Amino acid sequence: MQMRFDGLLGFPGGLVNPSEETLEAGLSRELHEEVGVAVPVGVDDHMSSCVSSSCPRLITHFYIKKMTEAELKEIERAAVASATDHGLEVLGMVRVPLYFLKKGGGLPYFLSHSFISNSRAQLLSALRHCRLLSQGELKEAVRQAEQMRRTHSDDPR
Ligand SMILES: O=c1[nH]cnc2c1ncn2[C@H]1C[C@H](O)[C@@H](COP(=O)(O)OP(=O)(O)O)O1
């Protein structure tokens, strides 16, 4: 995922006008701007679509692209070295911690941060779809994250 200019976590991507380009071409263009490399995206990579709750005229389309660790490392390097949006719209790529540490560290802490639009739900659906974590582990991570958010909102600081 990435830290956005507004301080929220989200996925690389952006607005596409379907009368001007296909969704996949628009996503590839946005990826080039935000991660600095041309990542080919096809209709087979499409995962889900949903009407935005904050803006009913916006439909969010979510794609999953599996890649090797070497490809991921290349993207992480390019995101800093050549992405035109780096330091502007995008403040940095972040790997999602897919583990649990004592006292909520790892995935539960990550999930307790603030996310743009429905990107937190998109992350959870991707982890479920790719079977990277079990249903029980995801449920436990969400439970701990909610508990942390409640604790933080009680913090008077
Ligand atoms: O990761 C995301 N998941 C779901 N919706 C998202 C995500 N990132 C952005 N959005 C939504 C929020 C905004 O309403 C629009 C446009 O986002 P934005 O970052 O402003 O797009 P541009 O890069 O400026 O085109 O999408």
In total, how many domains does the chain have? 2
CA dist list (Å): 71 to 11, 76, 81, 100, 148: 17, 9, 15, 25, 34
Which one, of 153, 63, 155, 144, lies nearest residue 110 by Cα? Answer: 144
- pLDDT tens-digit map of 114-123: 999 999 999 9
pTM of the model: 0.93
Residue pLDDT, tens place only, 14-52:
999 999 999 999 999 999 999 999 899 999 999 999 998
Pick the last residue of a domain from 37, 58, 88. Answer: 88
Same domain for 55 and 107, yes or no, is no
The closest-lying atom of ligand 1 relative to the alpha carbon of residue 1 is 1
Is residue 122 located within the same domain as residue 83?
A: no
Last residue of a domain, one of 32, 66, 88: 88
In CATH, what number is assigned to the domain containing residue 32? Answer: 3.90.79.10
**Measured from the CA of 10, which atom of ligand 1 is nearest?**
1
Contact 74, 148 (CB under 8 A): no
* Residue 68 Cα to ligand 1 middle (Å): 26
Which domain range does residue 103 map to? 96-157
Q: Which of 75, 95, 66 is nearest to 34 (CA)?
A: 75
Q: What is the mean pLDDT of residues 142-155?
A: 87
